[in-house]
Chains A and B, each alone.
Chain A
């Protein structure tokens, strides 16, 4: 055995193994056991899940939110990364400002958003003070679910775009300047340099950012719950609801596994369709 000859490497990674077993492995096994335990047999919870209209609503809401925020975050994150990467005077200050939401939990960010979009919030105060509206508007509440939806989208974009930004900025800084200088010699336009050099080189970073953000978007919960409760139910929110309000850990686990399943499928699709070509992995041109 390798560890008998030299136990140091084993000892070094044993805390990680213990951590993974304790905090990931055992809960995962328990989740499987709970999800496949019901009076109707092992598939009872899943049958109840897919037969209930609520599951399909939560799946649809989660997919729609993910489908809107992830592309927007990618575009916005890329634009900000390109902007900051110009390294103009004071760019570090701008970088820090953009990165501030990284330090916020989703609940903190949601509460800050509530102080803006609430009935007595800053946005209403500004709109009333400037005379654009006579009375404050409702942006959140049971009768304005369409507005609440966009408040959730705006909050989530503000909260999570910095993660995409940081990943893409790191990717941009890895672009070999010699390629750009060569492109200048060949008379490439700015657009051509962007599409033919920067984007291909950035593709692995973009895939990492997309993957991370999509997986996190499928777990969206805090922002939706703080701002709109179950008005727009999402999958992770329903798992929480079953666990804490209905005291049904079996159904909560079934929801959890469904989130994991959808996440795995999406990750696989990303890996298949966005796999970097060989020259992109090397960070160079063909």
Chain B
């Protein structure tokens, strides 16, 4: 009872806080103090000057935002007219019928990455306009390009051409090892590294088309056979690395995969030497994890014209680049790359855009499993340890571990994320 009262008081306070101004913007992003300060101190005043709209910004947790929007609609008095959240949050709200269909809103002067436009749709509506993204990439030491396999060029790799595949990566890794005598591909395999993200969100979708539904498929067995062969050319010290900037800077690896935030130090230190590139493609596509942030409008929201003006401003290439500089989220419009000043950020953003706009791009979203997320990660790490390192029979291992994945999703009642969810659409 106390909790219910607390929620009502909170909701009341929130309504009071943002019940004035033409745009009431609540967001699950930009919570940290520095990000909020940038948003409220720089972006919003500039938007007011440029677009002539008064905007009130309130960062909330997903639960608070969801309660707020539901409460407003139940009361028939909708105040919030702009909402920022992750794709997974929009998807849940759209499933409850809380969002306005955004399909009629167009911005002809910018090209949204079509992959993200695709994932902005669901439950019969366009749920949001893509706003920002964070993702994983590979970084290549420029020396490695001297060892490219026949038929593969530097431009192929940087532009995510169909020739830039996992087979090409293997051939490249072999060439480097033969040329240098050292295994120069590296992954952050330690427990505190994000190695499990590579497994479930990158190489699994690339080979099987899904993260978990095809965990014990024949395509998955092909993937494990490939990974076992690749690991003959992967630096074994990776089991002690949690981030790849340092091994790159120490020249212990020439090709490394990691989250963009964990590669930034190397690229900023020497942008000419360390070149960010998109992930290679597998038989099922160019699988990679994206954290996709969007902007949407709750159903029956007032003053929609002003909300659209705000979305127009926040998704403009100029503002997307400002956010990249300060917060580290990457743009989702192709025009943004052209106006980023030369330097490490531009090379990072170019690779991110090339990866996400590749025709064979296959986005994977991290499943929202709460406290069971660790168990989910552990299934993939265990499979890797047993199959690739301990050389156990892959078919037996995946058959043994697959029920654990099913149990985790059943226990949490979590929706199946992309790309697996695509099998049901």
- Do A231 and B181 touch across chains, with their CB atoms under 8 A apart? no
User: Is the CB–CB distance between A230 and B191 below 8 Å?
Assistant: yes
Q: Are A245 and B238 in contact (CB under 8 A)?
A: no
Q: Which of B165-206 contact A (CB under 8 A)?
A: 181-182, 189-191
Given known A120-B252, A246-B374, A247-B374, contact A141–B191 (CB-CB < 8 A): no
Interface presence of B377 (CB below 8 A)? yes
Judged by a CB distance under 8 angstroms, whether B250 is at the interface is yes
Q: Please tell me the number of chain B residues within 8 Å of chain A, measured between CB atoms.
A: 22
Which parts of B213-250 form the interface with A (CB within 8 Å)? 235-240, 250
CA distance A246 to B377 in the complex (A): 8
**Taking the complex as formed, is B378 at the interface, i.e. its CB lies under 8 A from any CB of chain A?**
yes
- Whether A141 pairs with B240 at a CB distance below 8 angstroms is yes
Interface hits, A122-172 → B, CB 8 Å: 135, 138, 140-144
Given A120-B250, A245-B374, A246-B374, A229 contacting B190 (CB threshold 8 A): yes
Indicate with 1 or 0, residue by residue over A236-257, a CB within 8 angstroms of chain B CB atoms: 0000010001111000000000
What are the residues of chain B within 8 A of A144 when measuring CB–CB?
A: 236
Q: Does A70 contact B (CB under 8 A)?
A: no
Residues of chain B within 8 A of A80, CB atoms compared: none
Known contacts A120-B251, A135-B181, A229-B191: does B374 contact A142 (CB below 8 Å)? no
Whether, in the assembled complex, B392 has its beta carbon less than 8 Å from a beta carbon of chain A, the answer is: no
* In the complex, chain B residues whose CB is within 8 Å of the CB of A228: 239-240
A138, B235: Cα distance in complex, Å: 10
Q: Is B371 an interface residue (CB 8 A)?
A: yes
Q: B252: which A residues are within 8 A, CB to CB? A: 119-120
> Do A140 and B182 have beta carbons less than 8 Å apart?
no
Contact A142 B191, CB 8 Å, known A119-B237, A229-B240 = no
B389 & A142 in contact (Cβ 8 Å cutoff)? yes
Q: How far is the CB of B392 from chain A (nearest CB, A)?
A: 13
Q: Across the interface, do B181 and A142 meet the contact criterion of CB distance under 8 Å?
A: no
Whether A227 is near chain B, meaning CB under 8 Å from some CB there, is yes
Q: Is residue B117 contacting chain A, with contact meaning CB distance below 8 A? A: no
Which A residues are in CB contact (< 8 Å) with B235?
A: 141
The residue on A at minimum CB distance from B369 is: A247
Per-residue interface assignment for chain B, residues 344 to 375, with 1 indicating a CB less than 8 Å from any chain A CB and 0 otherwise: 00000000000000000000000000011111
User: Which of B236, B250, B373, B375 is the one whose CB lies under 8 Å from A138?
Assistant: B236
Instruction: Give the residue among A119, A225, A231 with the most B Cβ atoms within 10 A.
Output: A119
B231 to chain A, nearest CB (A): 9
The reply to whether B239 and A229 form a contact with Cβ atoms under 8 Å apart is: yes
Chain B residues within 8 Å of A119, by CB: 237, 250, 252
Instruction: Take A120-B250, A120-B251, A229-B190 as given contacts and tell me if A246 and B378 are in contact as well, using a CB distance cutoff of 8 Å.
Output: yes
A120 CB contacts on chain B under 8 angstroms: 250-252
Shortest Cβ distance from B182 into A: residue: A135
> Known contacts A120-B250, A120-B251, A230-B191; is A245 also within 8 Å of B236 by CB?
no
Query: How far is the CB of B112 from the nearest CB of chain A, in Å?
Result: 36
What 0/1 readout, one digit per residue, does chain A (99-136) give for beta carbons within 8 Å of chain B?
00000000000000010001110000000000000010
* Contact A245 B378, beta carbon cutoff 8 Å: yes
Which A residues are in CB contact (< 8 Å) with B373?
Answer: 247
In the assembled complex, how far is the CB of residue A64 from the closest CB belonging to chain B, in whole angstroms? Answer: 20
Please, which residues of chain B bring their CB within 8 A of the CB of A141?
Answer: 235-240
> How many of A's residues come within 8 Å of B, CB to CB?
22
Bound together, the chains give a CA A144 to CA B389 distance in angstroms of: 12
- Report Cα–Cα, A227/B235, bound state, in Å: 16
Say yes or no: A247 contacts B371, CB within 8 Å.
Answer: yes
Q: Which of A114, A143, A246 contacts B236 (CB 8 A)?
A: A143
What CA separation (Å) do A138 and B237 show in the bound complex?
A: 7
Instruction: Evaluate contact between B371 and A142: CB separation under 8 angstroms.
Output: no
In Å, the complex CA distance between A227 and B250 comes to 17
Inter-chain CA distance A77–B238, complex, in Å, is: 35
Give chain A residues whose Cβ lies under 8 Å from the Cβ of B371: 247
A135-B182, A247-B373 known; A241+B191 contact, CB < 8 A: yes
Q: Do residues B378 and A142 form an inter-chain contact, with CB atoms below 8 A?
A: no
Q: CB within 8 A of B375: which of A114, A230, A246? A: A246
Interface centre among B191, B252, B373, B377 (most CB of A within 10 A): B191
- Check B191–A227 contact: CB distance below 8 A: no
In Å, the complex CA distance between A117 and B373 comes to 34
How far, in whole Å, are A228 and B239 apart by their CA atoms in the complex?
7
For the complex, what is the distance from the CA of A229 to the CA of B252, rounded to whole Å?
18
Distance (whole angstroms) from the CB of B229 to the closest CB of chain A: 15
Q: Cβ of A229: which chain B residues have Cβ within 8 Å of it?
A: 189-191, 239-240
Q: How far, in Å, is B261 (CB) from chain A's closest CB?
A: 19
**A243: nearest chain-B partner, CB-CB:** B374
Q: Which residues of A contact B250 (CB under 8 A)?
A: 119-120
Q: Which residues of B contact A241 (CB under 8 A)?
A: 191
| Residue of chain A at shortest CB distance from B190 | A229
User: Taking the nearest CB of chain B, how far is it from the CB of A117, in angstroms?
Assistant: 10
The closest CB in chain B to the CB of A139 belongs to B237
Given A119-B252, A120-B250, A120-B252, decide whether A140 and B374 contact each other with a Cβ distance below 8 A.
no
A118 to B241, CA, bound (A): 11
Instruction: Enumerate chain A residues within 8 angstroms of B375, measured Cβ to Cβ.
Output: 246, 248
Closest CB of chain A to B369's CB: distance in Å? 10
B189 to chain A: which residues have CB within 8 Å?
Answer: 142, 229
Give bound CA distance, A241 to B385, whole Å: 16
In the assembled complex, which residues on chain B have CB atoms less than 8 Å from the CB atom of A247? 371-374
Q: Within the complex, what minimum Cβ distance (angstroms) separates A137 from chain B?
A: 11
Cβ–Cβ contact A140 & B181, under 8 A:
no
Smallest Cβ distance from B380 to chain A, in angstroms?
13
23 A-B contacts, Cβ less than 8 Å apart? A114-B240, A119-B252, A120-B251, A135-B181, A138-B237, A141-B235, A141-B236, A141-B237, A141-B238, A142-B236, A142-B239, A144-B236, A228-B239, A229-B190, A245-B191, A245-B374, A245-B378, A246-B374, A246-B375, A247-B373, A247-B374, A248-B374, A248-B375
B interface, CB within 8 angstroms of A: 181-182, 189-191, 235-240, 250-252, 371-375, 377-378, 389
> Which 5 pairs across A and B sit closest by C-beta, in order of nearness?
A141-B236, A246-B374, A142-B239, A141-B237, A247-B371
* Residue ranges of A at the interface with B (Cβ–Cβ < 8 Å): 114, 118-120, 135, 138, 140-144, 225, 227-231, 241, 245-248
Apart from A142-B389, A229-B239, list 8 A-B contacts with CB within 8 A.
A120-B252, A142-B236, A142-B239, A143-B236, A225-B191, A230-B191, A231-B240, A248-B374
